[in-house]
A and B are shown apart, each in its own frame.
Chain A
């Protein structure tokens, strides 16, 4: 069964600090893995999309990594800002199938 798990469930950090969010996926046959940011009351917004051959992708202060062997991905946020407070959702996709969403990590950045 295709599945995506995320950790931690929630995280609180101080503004300016870095943090890393984790994602374990079981998606087969693997097509791609995505990270989304979802602000409260809004729809998810795409941060990165990675395929099997890519192990790192950056989008500004966001850097995603992908380890196809261990089926793990991480999202690293550098020099966090208050506006980074949101839920971060890892999404996997198998070929010919639909997207499988993780439960999300709720990040709170405090001043």
Chain B
């Protein structure tokens, strides 16, 4: 069974440009999460999808970030326009459910560098 995949693995853009990150969860997982790790800091929650609906987007830093999950399958996270402080590693995770024992499976992350 394929795990969570993310594309691209690395992205280097200039300030003001737009970048779109993609996440393909494990097939059949309704729950999809986005997280971010800024250099030197801990991983932080961004948002949570249940199928195609945003369950919780309280972690999204500002309106330059837009996440979508069309059809409840893959998800995209767009940053427009990118700022220097957006640099970091963006992780996606998926889970079958949300109970206390449900395991989250993480993708390898996308390393975003904004110059």
**Binary per-residue interface labels of chain B (89-115) against chain A in the complex, 1 for a CB within 8 Å, 0 otherwise:** 001010000001101111111000000
Listed residue (A42, A43, A93) with the most chain B CB atoms within 10 angstroms of its CB:
A43
Instruction: Kindly count the residue-residue contacts between A and B in the assembled complex, taking CB atoms under 8 Å apart.
Output: 47
In the assembled complex, how far is the CB of residue B2 from the closest CB belonging to chain A, in whole angstroms?
Answer: 14
**A42-60 CB contacts (< 8 Å) to partner B:** 42-46, 49, 51
A102 cross-chain contacts in B, Cβ below 8 A: 42
Q: Is the interface of A mostly helix, strand, loop or mixed?
A: strand
**CB pairs A–B below 8 angstroms (16 shown):** A43-B93, A43-B107, A43-B108, A43-B109, A44-B91, A46-B104, A46-B105, A49-B101, A98-B56, A98-B58, A99-B45, A101-B42, A101-B43, A103-B41, A103-B42, A104-B42
B95 to chain A, nearest CB (A): 10
Q: Is A89 an interface residue (CB 8 A)?
A: yes
Q: How large is the interface on A (under 10, 10 to 19, 20 to 34, 35 or more residues)?
A: 20 to 34
- B28 interface residue per 8 A CB criterion: no
A98 (CB) vs chain B CBs: closest residue: B45
Contact B41 A43 (CB under 8 A): no
B22 proximal to A (CB < 8 A): no
Residues of B within 8 A of A49 (CB): 100-101, 103
Minimum CB–CB distance from B55 to chain A (whole Å) comes to: 10
Q: Return chain B residues, CB-CB under 8 Å to A104.
A: 42
